[in-house]
Amino acid sequence: MCEFSLRPLRLKLSTRRTLRFAEEKQILLLIMRTHFLFLFICISCSSHAQKKEIKTKIYPDEKLVTEKYLTNGAHKYNYFSREWQIYLDSAIQMNPTVAYYYQQKAMPLFKQRKYETGIPFLNKAVQLDSLQYIDYQAFMKCIFSKDYSGAINDFKLSKRIKGEYAHVMDHSYDFYTGLCYLQLNDFKKAVDHITRSIEYTKKTSGNSWVHYLDLFYLGIAYMELENYQEAIKFFDQSLAVYTNFSDAEYYKALSVAKLAKFDEATELLKQSAAHFKQGYTINEDNVYYEKYPYQVFSYFFPTEN
């Protein structure tokens, strides 16, 4: 009788133990979940606080930093000097939110042809103030680093930000875009953009305000398309604005030769060589640092024995 009566009791005890274990397991899982949730909330609050602190961090006044580290610092030295870079580094450290400091650090690096070193600083300037520096970056890519596809994209963005017919470094966006397409051998697009630049100038300011380089590069584009008569027409128009322009004379000579006018071409080459020696070439400010597309060199001309 005793054995028979104890069996249900053992079953009840076993069941109770199982239930208790299950309850303890659930409680443990609940504690762990609560712990992880608490940690997650703490981390999120900490991250939010850090971001808020970064956003609201107050830097020294821009005018004071500029006066100390640029006006009375970097700008007292040649911009190729080590001191220039050191002062700009200090200015950026004091106030890293000023786009101008990054542009000033990048500019001499580009003029030393250290494009890969300079481009991150120029990118940062654009990031901080795209309205001010997006077209400047496009210009630097076109004339300095020769990133023509990148320049075209930046000029497209510049048009959206600053307007279809805005200018940078004395020329229209279409002018520089045309140069980029010339260098990418897409001569029809070069004609389209440079023509648009010329027509807008004529419409807004009159024929006399058309730049000699617009006319010169339109002549180059037509020459590359083997339309030599049209090329000569625009080289002549360029020469009417800039007398003795040796680059226009040189490429006009090549175009005239293509029309089998060899005597005239020979005289033009001699004339071009003489004017080149006298310094009548592309006279843009930055030509001191970089040659412009199709600009003539001394070795273009035959030497006399």
In the predicted structure, residue 192 carries a pLDDT above the cut 90: yes
**Is 194 among the domain residues?**
no
| Cβ count within 10 A of residue 68 | 15
Question: What is residue 244's predicted lDDT score, i.e. its pLDDT?
Answer: 97
Q: Are 232 and 253 in contact (CB under 8 A)?
A: no
**Is 302 among the domain residues?**
yes
CATH number where 234 lies: 1.25.40.10
Structure-block tokens of residue 226 = 């083997």
Structure-block tokens of residue 231 = 């090329």
- In this prediction, residue 16 has a pLDDT band, given cuts at 50, 70 and 90, of low
What are the pLDDT digits (tens) for 80-102?
999 999 999 999 999 999 999 99
**Half-sphere exposure of 3 toward its Cβ, with a 13 Å CA cutoff?**
0
Cα(214)–Cα(36) distance, integer angstroms: 67
**Is 221 among the domain residues?**
yes
**Is 249 among the domain residues?**
yes
Domain total for the chain?
1
What are the pLDDT digits (tens) for 139-157?
999 999 999 999 999 999 9
Q: Are 278 and 301 in contact (CB under 8 A)?
A: no
What are the pLDDT digits (tens) for 61-85?
999 999 999 999 999 999 999 999 9
Q: Which domain holds residue 221?
A: 211-305
Question: What is residue 20's predicted lDDT score, i.e. its pLDDT?
Answer: 54
**Is 279 among the domain residues?**
yes
**Is 219 among the domain residues?**
yes
**How far is CA 233 from each of CA 101, 222, 242, 248, rounded to the nearest angstrom?**
45, 10, 14, 11
Q: Are 281 and 207 in contact (CB under 8 A)?
A: no
Convert 134-165 to b/e letters by CB count within 10 Å (16 or more is b).
bbbbbbbbbbbbebbebbbebbebbbeebeee
Residues with Cβ within 8 Å of residue 273, at least 6 apart in sequence:
246, 301
- How large a percentage of the chain has pLDDT more than 90? 80
**Is 234 among the domain residues?**
yes
| Entry pTM | 0.80
**How far is CA 222 from each of CA 128, 199, 259, rounded to the nearest angstrom?**
40, 17, 14
Q: What residues does 167 pair with on adjacent strands?
A: 172
Q: Are 144 and 290 in contact (CB under 8 A)?
A: yes
Q: For residue 267, report the phi and psi dihedrals to the nearest 5 degrees.
A: -65, -40
Q: What is the mean pLDDT of the chain?
A: 88
Question: What is residue 2's predicted lDDT score, i.e. its pLDDT?
Answer: 42
Question: What is residue 227's predicted lDDT score, i.e. its pLDDT?
Answer: 98
**Is 266 among the domain residues?**
yes
In the predicted structure, residue 287 carries a pLDDT above the cut 80: yes
Cα(79)–Cα(88) distance, integer angstroms: 10
